[in-house]
C-alpha cells in the first residue's frame, strides 16, 4: 500500500476553470489592482463594536472626521457665507441709497418712475386699450362704496354746473361757444362733519360753517382758489382767456343713453360690480371733435373737477374706448354728491383713481396732462 502522507497529490479529474467562467467573488482578474478604492469621508461608517463578517460585501469603515476637521470645514463655509452675504447686503444698500437720493418726479424717485413708464409701454403695446372689460348681469350689481372725497368735499348747486370743453375744433361754430370758459363760477356749499350740507335749506344761503368743516380758501379778491387738495394745483389748468364750449346737463343728455354693468377696481385691492348709466365719452368726442395738431388728433385728454381740486390725464385712445362712460346714474338712480354728481367717469380698463368724480372740464391736448395721484407717486397710466 502506498503512504497517503508521502504520496504525490491525487490528480483532480476536473478541468481548471477558465477565466471567463470564474465566479464574481473569485478575486480580481489579471491586470486588475488588488487595492481597495480610497475611502470617502462621506462613506457610511460601521457602528462601533461591529465588524464585517467574512464573505460580506461591506466596504471597510470610512475615515471618521475628528472634531478639529469638522470645525475647520465649518469655519471655511461660514467665512464664505459671510463674505457673500456682506457683498449682497452692500450692493442692496448701495442700490437703495442710489434710488433714494435720485431726482424725483412728483413724489416718486426717477428710477422707479421710469420703471412705471416701461410697464405702461409694455401694457400699451400688448393691449393697445382695445380689450373689453367683462360685463355682468344687473342682479350681481351693488351700490358702490364711497372712497375718496377729493374734489367733492363741498356740495355743488346742480343749477350752477357746466361741462367746459377746451381744445375743440372751430368752437365758434357751436351755439354753446364761450370766449373764456375759465370765468364760470360754481356755487358750492360747505358740508357738515356728519356729511350733510351746512346750509339753512336747499335754496337758502349757507350757514356759518361748524368747526371741522372743510371750507374752500379764497384769494385776495374773494374768488375761490384752485387746487385745494393735497397734490396742489394742476400744471394743466387752463390759462385765463381760454375759449371753448360750455354745456348744460340737458345738452349732454341729448346724446344716446347707455347702460353698463362692469367691475370697479380700486388699487387698494377691493372691487365691486356696479350698474352704471350715462353717455359714452366717444360720442361726446365725435360730436365735439378735437382740433388737429400737425394734421392729426392730439394724443391726450385732460379732466378736472370744478376749481381743479382733482384732475386726471388720459390717452385719447382710452377715452375712445367703447366702455368709457360719462356716468349720470348709478344703481338705477341719479348720482349722489359724494359719488360725483352730476357727472363722473367710469373707465373699466383703468383703476378707480382714474375714474374722476364731478367732472367740470374736459380738454384736448397734445402734451401729457398733469395727474393728481401721479404727483403723489402713483402710475400715470393705471391700466388693468
- Dump pLDDT digits (tens) for 225-236: 999 999 999 999
Kindly report the backbone phi and psi dihedral angles of residue 327, in degrees, each rounded to the nearest multiple of 5, phi listed first: -85, 135
Grid coordinates representing 46 are 460601521
Number of domains in the chain: 2
First-to-last alpha carbon distance for the chain, in angstroms, is 113
Q: Is residue 115 part of a domain?
A: no
Q: Is residue 107 part of a domain?
A: no
Please state the separation of Cα 233 from the chain's center in Å.
25
pLDDT in tens, 120-151: 777 767 766 778 999 999 999 999 999 999 99
The reply to whether 195 and 151 lie within a common domain is: yes
The reply to whether 146 and 66 lie within a common domain is: no
Grid coordinates representing 308 are 381743479
pLDDT for position 161: 97
pLDDT for position 347: 97
Q: Is residue 205 part of a domain?
A: no
The reply to whether 175 and 68 lie within a common domain is: no
The reply to whether 249 and 352 lie within a common domain is: yes
SS3 33: coil
Grid coordinates representing 129 are 386699450
pLDDT for position 21: 44
Quick one: average pLDDT of 298-307? 97
Quick one: average pLDDT of 273-294? 98
Contact criterion met (CB below 8 Å) for 161 and 342: yes
pLDDT over 60 at 112, yes or no: yes
CA 253/CA 224 separation, integer angstroms = 29
Q: Is residue 119 part of a domain?
A: no
The reply to whether 143 and 87 lie within a common domain is: no
Q: Is residue 305 part of a domain?
A: yes
The reply to whether 16 and 132 lie within a common domain is: no
Domain boundary among 84, 101, 118: 101
Q: Is residue 176 part of a domain?
A: yes
Question: Given pLDDT bands bounded at 50, 70 and 90, which one contains residue 47?
Answer: very low
Average pLDDT, the chain: 83
CATH number reported for the structural domain that contains residue 335 in this entry: 3.90.420
The reply to whether 232 and 362 lie within a common domain is: yes
The reply to whether 195 and 287 lie within a common domain is: yes
Domain span at 44: 11-101
pLDDT over 50 at 4, yes or no: no
Q: What is the 3-state secondary structure (H, E, C) of 321-382?
A: CCCCEEEEEECCEECCCCCCCCCEEECCCECHHHCCCCCCEEEEECCCCCCHHHHCCCCCCC
The reply to whether 227 and 371 lie within a common domain is: yes
pTM of the model: 0.72
Residue 70 half-sphere exposure, CB side, CA atoms within 13 Å?
A: 6
Q: Is residue 167 part of a domain?
A: yes
Residue 263, strand partner residues: 273
pLDDT for position 176: 95
Lowest mean pLDDT among 116-125, 184-193, 281-290, 343-352: 116-125
Which long-range contacts does 255-261 make (Cβ < 8 Å, 24+ apart)? 255/279, 255/280, 255/283, 255/284, 255/287, 256/280, 256/283, 258/325, 260/135, 260/323, 260/325, 260/346, 260/348, 261/135, 261/136, 261/137, 261/138, 261/140, 261/141
Q: Is residue 70 part of a domain?
A: yes
As a whole-number percent, the residues of the chain with pLDDT over 70 amount to: 77
Structure-model confidence comparison of residues 332 and 194, the more confident one: 332
Q: Which residue in this structure is represented by grid cell 367703447?
A: 322
Q: Which helix (H) or strand (E) holds 69?
A: helix 67-100
Residue 260, strand partner residues: 276
The reply to whether 234 and 87 lie within a common domain is: no
The reply to whether 169 and 299 lie within a common domain is: yes
Q: In degrees, to the nearest 5, what angle opens at C-alpha 19 toward C-alphas 18 and 20?
A: 95
The reply to whether 295 and 356 lie within a common domain is: yes
Amino acid at each position: 500500500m502506498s503512504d497517503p502522507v508521502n504520496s504525490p497529490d491525487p490528480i483532480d479529474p476536473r478541468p481548471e476553470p477558465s477565466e471567463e467562467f470564474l465566479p464574481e467573488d473569485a478575486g480580481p482578474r489579471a491586470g486588475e489592482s488588488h487595492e481597495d478604492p480610497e475611502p470617502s469621508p462621506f462613506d457610511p461608517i460601521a457602528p462601533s463594536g461591529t465588524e464585517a463578517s467574512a464573505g460580506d460585501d461591506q466596504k471597510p469603515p470610512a475615515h471618521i472626521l475628528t472634531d478639529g476637521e469638522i470645525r475647520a470645514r465649518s469655519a471655511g463655509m461660514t467665512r464664505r457665507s459671510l463674505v457673500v452675504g456682506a457683498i449682497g447686503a452692500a450692493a442692496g444698500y448701495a442700490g437703495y441709497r442710489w434710488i433714494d437720493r435720485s431726482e424725483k418726479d412728483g413724489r416718486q424717485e426717477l428710477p422707479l418712475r421710469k420703471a412705471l413708464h416701461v410697464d405702461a409701454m409694455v401694457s400699451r403695446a400688448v393691449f393697445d386699450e382695445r380689450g373689453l372689460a367683462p360685463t355682468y348681469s344687473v342682479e350681481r350689481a351693488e351700490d358702490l362704496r364711497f372712497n375718496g372725497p377729493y374734489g367733492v368735499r363741498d356740495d355743488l348747486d346742480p343749477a350752477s354746473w357746466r361741462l367746459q370743453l377746451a381744445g375743440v375744433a372751430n368752437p365758434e361754430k357751436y351755439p354753446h361757444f364761450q370766449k373764456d370758459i375759465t370765468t364760470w363760477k360754481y356755487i358750492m356749499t360747505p358740508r357738515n362733519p356728519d356729511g350733510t350740507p351746512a346750509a339753512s335749506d336747499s335754496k337758502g344761503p349757507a350757514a356759518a360753517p361748524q368747526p371741522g368743516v372743510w371750507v374752500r380758501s379764497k384769494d385776495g379778491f374773494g374768488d375761490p382758489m384752485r387746487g385745494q387738495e393735497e397734490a396742489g394745483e394742476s400744471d394743466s389748468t387752463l390759462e385765463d382767456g381760454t375759449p371753448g364750449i360750455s354745456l348744460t346737463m340737458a345738452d349732454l343728455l341729448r346724446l344716446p343713453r347707455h347702460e353698463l354693468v362692469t367691475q370697479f377696481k380700486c388699487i387698494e385691492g377691493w372691487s365691486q360690480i356696479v350698474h352704471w348709466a350715462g353717455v359714452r365719452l366717444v360720442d361726446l368726442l365725435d360730436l365735439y371733435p378735437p382740433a388737429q395738431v400737425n394734421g392729426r388728433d392730439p394724443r391726450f385728454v385732460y379732466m378736472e373737477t370744478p376749481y381743479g381740486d382733482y384732475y386726471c390725464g388720459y390717452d385719447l385712445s382710452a377715452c375712445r374706448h367703447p366702455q368709457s362712460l360719462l356716468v349720470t346714474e348709478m344703481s338705477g338712480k341719479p348720482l349722489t354728491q359724494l359719488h360725483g354728481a352730476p357727472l363722473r367717469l367710469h373707465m373699466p380698463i383703468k383703476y378707480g383713481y382714474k375714474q374722476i368724480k364731478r367732472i367740470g372740464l374736459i380738454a384736448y391736448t397734445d402734451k401729457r396732462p398733469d395727474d393728481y395721484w401721479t404727483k403723489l407717486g402713483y402710475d400715470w397710466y393705471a391700466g388693468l
